Each structure stands twice: as C-alpha cells, then as structure tokens.
Amino acid sequence: MLAAGVLFGSTFVVMKDAVVDVEPIPFLAARFLIGALVLAPFAVRQPRSPGVTRAGAFAGVALLVGYIFQTVGLQYTSASVSAFITYMLVVLVPVLAALTVRRIPTRPTIAGVALATAGLFLLTGQGLALGKGEALTVGCAIAFAVHIVLLSEWSERFPTARFTAIQLAVVGMIALVVGAFTGGYDFPASAWLAAAYTGVVVSAVAFALQVSGQRQVGPTRTALLLMIEPVAAAGFGYAAGDRLGAAGITGAGLILAGILTAELPGLLTSRSIR
C-alpha cells in the first residue's frame, strides 16, 4: 500500500504539466485506457467471478468522478496543494466506513487521523480558505474516499488484475466518449508521454497494488497508509522546484507520525504472533 502511495504521489507534477497542453478529460481517457490495456493480458488469465463486472463498474465510476475533480482542479491550484487536499479523504473514510460497513476505527487509528489531518493543514498553507481549485479537489477527496470503502468490500472477492482492469476500462471508456467533445486527442508528444507514464506505472501497477493491499488492510488503515502520497508528491514537487517551508516540513512529519501511530499497534501484534 505504501508503494502504491508513492507511485500515486509521482503523478501530480506530471499531470499538472500535462493539462497545460491538453484538456483534462481526454488526458484521463488516454491514461486509463493505456492502463487497462497493460493489465488486459493478466486479467484474461484469471478466472471469471460472478459480479466482478458490476463491482468493477461501480468502483470505476467513483474513480472517474474523483479524477475529473482532481484533474480539472489542477488547472487552478498547485500540484502540492492538490495532493494534500486530496488526502483529506483520510478524515472521510472512517466516517463512510462506520456508516456503510460498520467498521468502527480503533483509538490508535483515530489518533493517527487527527495527527495526519493537522499535518495536511500545515502542508497546504491555505488554512480553511478554498479557491476554485481547492474546492474541486475536495470533491475529489470525497469520491476517492467512496472508492476506498468500495474496494474494502470487493477486493477480497475478485481476482486483482481482472477487477483492476475493469475499473480502468470503465474510467477510460466513459472519458473517451466525453473527451471527443471536450478537446479531442491531438496531444503533443509530451502529453502522450505523461499519459503513458501515468497509465502504466500508476494506473496499472499502483492500482493493482492497492487492490491487492486492501485484501489485508481495512479502509481506514488504507487511507492512512496512502497518506504517504502527498508526502511523496511534496518530494517530487521539491525536485521540480516547488519548495516547502518550515510549516510544510512540519506537516509532512505529522502525516508520517499519524501513519506510525495508527500502524504500530498492528505491526507489534503481528510480530508477537509470529
């Protein structure tokens, strides 16, 4: 799950640059269809499971909504701020999980959520003020929180490659149709390279890692582990010239502290069992 978070974090700077040259929805179509094609040879080798297409379609719609909000929002805010606001989902996932699947978070998890949320506010440097880009990204966080809760219910039931490929194909096909009317596909080479990177390394590999990881990890812990994504995004942003100040560094530290607070009891328990 941590590996998936780092890969997800690498996309913000790439997508920020790509949507300068192309419209967001056509870019999403290219990205997710490339990811689905990469997974297709692995998906067809796995056994068919009743309900996998329906589940993959629902998860794909939640994913599509989140990425539309996120990618459009990147036109109006920085890559780092987008990454940090996206992971306000860490607050939303425990609430959704408690309401829908009756999974009440443990005390260490609640403490981890509180630390990580405080870290996010420091990282953004925006306080509670939201511009257009930030507001759109809040919508992204809600959709991604729904997606994590859905995966927590379905990841154990279906083969990883087949379920992930269906999700990506649903996102890509819907975006393909809409994209034909919102900018088309006359991409410069740099945008195609960005679509190839995000499609292969992130959409195919990282989402497969997430689905596989959620077989072992509940939705709230998943949200906390994926909090490494904005920290990774900050690192990639730093390399691209986007610097964090003292408050940002403190915020990143609080996020890591939140992950450790939530995960350490489980790690100690598993080690004692061994």
Predicted pLDDT at 61: 95
Predicted pLDDT at 266: 58
Distance, CA of 102 to CA of 131 (rounded, Å):
34
- 93: Cβ–Cβ under 8 A, 6 or more apart, which residues? 145, 148, 149, 219, 220, 222, 223
Q: Do 172 and 36 contact (CB within 8 A), yes or no?
A: yes
Sequential pLDDT tens for the chain (274 residues): 888 888 888 888 788 788 888 898 999 999 999 999 999 998 888 888 888 999 999 999 999 999 999 989 988 887 777 877 787 777 777 777 777 766 677 787 788 778 877 877 776 665 555 678 888 988 998 999 898 888 877 878 888 889 989 999 999 999 999 999 988 898 999 899 999 998 888 888 887 887 778 777 777 677 777 777 777 777 777 666 666 677 777 877 787 787 777 766 655 554 443 3
Predicted pLDDT at 246: 76
How buried is residue 211: exposed, middle or buried, by Cβ count under 10 Å (0-12/13-18/19+)?
buried
**What does DSSP assign to residue 48?**
P
Q: Do 50 and 159 contact (CB within 8 A), yes or no?
A: no
Report the predicted TM-score, pTM, of the whole model to 2 decimal places: 0.77
